[in-house]
Amino acid sequence: MARWGILATGSIAAKFVEDLRLVPDAEVLAVGSRTRERARAFADRFGIPRAYGSWAELAADDDLDVIYVATPHSAHYDAALTCLSAGRAVLCEKPFTLDRATSLALIEAARARDVFLMEAMWMRCDPLIRRMVELIADGAIGEVTTVHADFGLAGPFAPDHRLRARALGGGALLDVGIYPVSLAHLVLGLPDEIRAWAKLSHGVDENTGVVFGYASGAVAALTCGIIGGTPTTATITGTRGRVELPSNFHCPSQFTLRRHGAEPEVFSMERRGWGYQYEAIEVQRCLAAGLRESPLVPHSVTLDVMGLLDTIRAQIGVRYD
């Protein structure tokens, strides 16, 4: 039995707790927030036994095996470090932190304390995404030549919404752009060239386009935004076929493999919950095996992607305090 603590009480924390009900041998034992009132309300809503009015109190609970950090982006580093310093394993929401430097500092803190740490990039743990990656690695579409992916939210988002708050790491790139970037990295690795452009508003990006170029000749064309709902689809094309991921490509219920000269093959699965259970299952598997990082979401991948996001932000002119 893995005993979970939940740090923060927002919508993502709520979805994660709902999905933990689908995970065998998972128990939500405690929740922590900046105020005891918010923690108690969340605990009562989900039947959680313990409620703490600070991150430090939650982290100090020796009965917890792992803590899920679900704060806004800007608080990930401090919240996760609080838990790691208390010797707690951590699953930290994406983006890991606001930049590569603080992500590396967090990873070094976990390694120094010999504690498990993983970024909650749930797309990499999704069974269908993993199956797609296997097919591509086995040569199902030949050598990958292009990746197209978009993730745009319709909005509108009020001026005080976290997505428009520079102080909270707002904007499209870190919140939803991380998915197209992660997909490109998943199938093509680190690019050799990066070009990015964005429309900014109050210091954060509203609409962003990115092109990755690779020495192999492959290209990734990626977009993200918070001012218009896009199809949120993806296509991965190779020399002998392509893979088409439908809307919500990051957590698909199916995808289509089109090999040249063959009938389309549809791979599907019945989806339950929101899809966060698969990352929780991976965390519990790693803890049971005594691992300190996940082979599905290794620290090196987190640092690679954070480095890409840093480069994109520098080109489009988004800077966080």
Catalytic residue numbers, as ranges:
94
Asked if 36 contacts 53 with a C-beta cutoff of 8 angstroms, the reply is yes
Distance CA 28, CA 46 (A): 9
Q: How many CB atoms lie within 10 A of CB 37?
A: 11
Q: Rounded to an integer, what distance in angstroms lies between the CA atom of residue 311 and that of residue 11? A: 29
- Contact between 150 and 224 under an 8 Å Cβ cutoff? The reply is yes
Q: Which of 108, 148, 164 is nearest to 243 (CA)?
A: 148
- The two tokens of residue 185 are 């990295």
| Bridge-based pairing state of the strands 50-52 and 26-32 | parallel
CB atoms within 10 A of CB 180: 27
Peptide bond into 264 cis (omega under 30): no
Q: What share of the chain is helix, strand, coil (3-state, %, to 5)?
A: 40, 25, 35
Question: H or E element: which one contains 120?
Answer: strand 117-120
* Cα separation, 41 vs 182, whole angstroms: 35
Tokens describing residue 189: 């690795």
Among residues 303, 247, 321, the alpha carbon closest in space to that of 119 is found at 303
With H, G, I as helix, E, B as strand and everything else as coil, classify residue 203: coil
Check if the beta carbon of residue 186 is closer than 8 Å to that of residue 132: no
DSSP label of 268: E
